[in-house]
Homo-oligomer: A and B are copies of this chain.
Amino acid sequence: MSGMSLRHALLGLLANRTASGYDLMKLFDTSLANVWPATQSQVYGELTRLADVGLVEVTAQGPRGRKDYALTDAGLAELRRWLTETRPEQPRRSDLLLRVFFLDQLTSEQRLEFFRYQAERAASHHAELRRLRESPALNEPGRLTANGRLALEYGLRLTAMQEEWADWAAKQISQGFPESAGQS
């Protein structure tokens, strides 16, 4: 009962306009791809559950069994409650940092390679986000895009920091730190 963020992502998207499960899927693959990916399976399942508890409702049926969902008053209230009364949790698990803890299992050369790769990957991710910032989709006015720019700025700063850190770590290692622990 702690997370449920997929649910709130759906409510948030429906606050803008009504949409079908199919429409919502596309939004997850485009605007929300970098902050909260979701699969088709999840979207349809959660929409049914949301309708069951009255946070959304089907307002129209289209061709091919299409159902248009809209936010109910209860749904909007729940969205605002989530935004104001609950606090975001930062992610606790890092695949990257876990590896860093066990890096003494490798040779200095391999450790260097590890951080060089991280620096490179962060740099290319950063470049990708810079391209996204200049893309036309982000520069037309609109609610989601205004907020999206704030999120994008986070990504730019994060990837910049990651590159600097990896460079720093590589330098530490090439200066013989930590005392070349070697294998067992």
Question: Which of A's residues lie within 8 Å of B, judged by CB?
Answer: 3, 5, 8-9, 12, 15, 31-32, 34-37, 76, 79-80, 82-84, 87-106, 110, 114, 117-118, 125, 143-144, 146-148, 150-151, 153-154, 157-158, 161, 164-165, 168-169, 172, 177-179, 181, 184
A97–B91 CA distance with the chains assembled, in angstroms: 11
Please, could you name 12 A-B residue pairs with CB atoms under 8 Å apart, sorted by A?
A35-B100, A35-B101, A76-B105, A83-B99, A83-B102, A83-B106, A83-B110, A100-B151, A104-B146, A146-B177, A146-B178, A150-B172
Which single member of B35, B95, B105, B143 contacts A97 (CB below 8 Å)? B35
Q: Which of these, B36, B84, B94, B118, contacts A98 with CB under 8 Å?
A: B36
From known contacts A147-B178, A178-B147, A181-B146, infer whether A106 and B84 are also in contact, taking CB-CB under 8 Å.
Answer: yes
Interchain CB contact under 8 A, A32 and B92 = no
* Chain B residues within an 8 Å CB radius of A97: 34-36, 151, 154
Instruction: Determine which residue in A82, A83, A101 has the highest number of CB atoms from chain B within 10 A of its CB, and name it.
Output: A101
- Given the complex of chains A and B, what is the CA–CA distance between A100 and B83 in angstroms? 9
The answer to whether residues A35 and B102 also contact, given A153-B169, A168-B153, A181-B143 and a CB cut-off of 8 A, is no
Taking a contact as CB atoms closer than 8 A, the residue among B35, B84, B93 that contacts A37 in the complex is: B93
Decide if A36 touches B79 in the complex (CB within 8 Å). no
Closest 10 CB pairs of A and B: A146-B178, A12-B102, A88-B96, A35-B97, A88-B95, A97-B151, A104-B143, A161-B161, A91-B91, A36-B98
